[in-house]
Amino acid sequence: METNQKPALNRTWIALLLYTVFSGVLRKWFITGAAAKSAIFAGNLLLPLALLYFSGRDYTGKKTLWVTGIAYLSILTGLAFHPLQVSIYHGFSGILIHALFWTILFVYLNHPQFPIEGRYAFIFIGLCLIETALGSIQYFSPPGSLINRYAEGEGVGVVAMAGASVRVTGTFSYLGGFSSFSSFAAFITCYYIKRKPGSPLILPLLVTGIYNCLISGSRAALLFYLLTITVFLVTEITFTFYRRHIVRLVTSSVILALVNSALLDPFHIQYAVAAGFDSFNTRTLANQDEGINRIISGPLEPFTKKFSFKLAGIGLGATYQGANAAFGRSPLLAGIGYENELFRLVAEGGIVLLLLRFLLLAYVLSFFRFSFFFKLYLFLVIGIYSSFVFNIYGGIFIASGLCLVNQAYPYPRRYEV
């Protein structure tokens, strides 16, 4: 790769992460016009194209990666100009949405050493601290306060609440993608565990990661965070090699907890975590049946839900809220709810698009330096339960997290992606 391309890729990737984190605040607090809000949101879709631009023609990966990417883009283009498509604008927006996650991964795999040199590491820690601080401000503010106006405006009652506090997530929050950021935080923690096992940052990352999941009120976010780190420890870490670091981490945790309690919790850390857990537990118990139903029936929805166009769908972008608001909604979706990502894939591109999701994910994961069992875990959890296509924040954070964790592994002398 040319010497001027690597810094450009690094800077663009960092810009993408920073923009993703702060664009939600901009759209909800500083921008009032609908057109301006849409333009800011469009930036999340266009920045990955800048990665593609700066990747250049000089690449270290296999040509099959580009061939696969072009083939996938060709299929998306065909589905964008579907005979049942509502408008050409739906098609264009659909291409950008469906290509975003894969663009980040394909660029990375063709330049597997570009992300994150040492001088950028502090940015991840900074992002975690910023998200934690901003999320705490909202969580501990009264439900009727100005900062929680989006929860009031929705009028959804207990759905927006985690106990007596407003959940820091989705529509109810002034922070865009807060729950999705927890997936990136899990990968940041895995990166430090593997790359820098003796780092004093691991414990704060674990505590803030769990805390952020709790105040989001998202059971899926907490489960993904804990399960990902647990599976990573079991499949990727050799206990005998990391034993002294693990013992040090456990010992430090116990000592710090005792000291904090002895000093009567001067920084309110124990209070914050306990309050978050109590509120999270209240919401979980109140919606236990709903959560179990989503886990079981969600993956089956593409096959069990009634829809007349499951074979080929009705065109990319047909379920995209922004395109529907601006250019009209397809009458073929009248009376049909579509929150589940797997069903939305079938609705827009049919069974073919759903199958491509899993084929591409397996293909891409095969190039990463994880163990087979961790890859299998990621394939199942990300493929079945993660929303990385229609949740723009999820797509950017999960793809970036995978790239980051891969950087924690030794770079083979004769490595070929």
Is residue 167 one of the residues assigned to a domain? yes
**Average pLDDT of the chain, as a whole number:** 78
Do the domain assignments include residue 363? no
Q: Report the alpha-carbon distance of residue 411 to residue 417 in Å, rounded.
A: 11
Alpha helix ranges (H) inside 56-113 = 63-80, 88-110
Region 264-279: what's the mean pLDDT? Answer: 58
- Domain for residue 164, yes or no? yes
> Is 42 among the domain residues?
no
Q: 158 lies in a domain? A: yes
Tokens 């890729």 correspond to 9
Q: Quote the pLDDT of residue 1.
A: 38
At residue 257, the pLDDT reads 65
Q: Which residue has the higher pLDDT, 117 or 329?
A: 329
> Among 20-29, 299-308, 327-336, where is mean pLDDT lowest?
20-29
Assigned domain for 267 exists: yes
- The whole domain housing 120 covers 116-286+371-384+395-409
pLDDT band at 261 (very low <50, low <70, confident <90, very high): low
> What share of the chain has pLDDT > 70, as a percent?
69
Considering its fold, how many domains does the chain have in total?
1
Q: What is the pLDDT of residue 49?
A: 81
Domain for residue 65, yes or no?
A: no
Classify residue 382 as left (phi > 0), alpha (psi -120 to 50) or beta: alpha
Which pLDDT belongs to residue 265? 59
Residue 315, in any domain of the structure? no
Q: How many CA atoms lie within 13 A of 192 on its CB side?
A: 21
| pLDDT score at 249 | 63
Average pLDDT over residues 234-242: 74
pLDDT in tens, 162-207: 555 555 555 545 566 778 888 999 999 999 888 888 788 888 888 8
What tens digit of pLDDT does each residue of 109-151 get? 887 665 555 567 778 888 888 888 877 777 777 666 666 655 5
Q: Are 25 and 131 in contact (CB under 8 A)?
A: no
Q: Which of 73, 377, 51 is nearest to 236 (CA)?
A: 377
Higher local confidence (pLDDT), 379 or 285 = 379
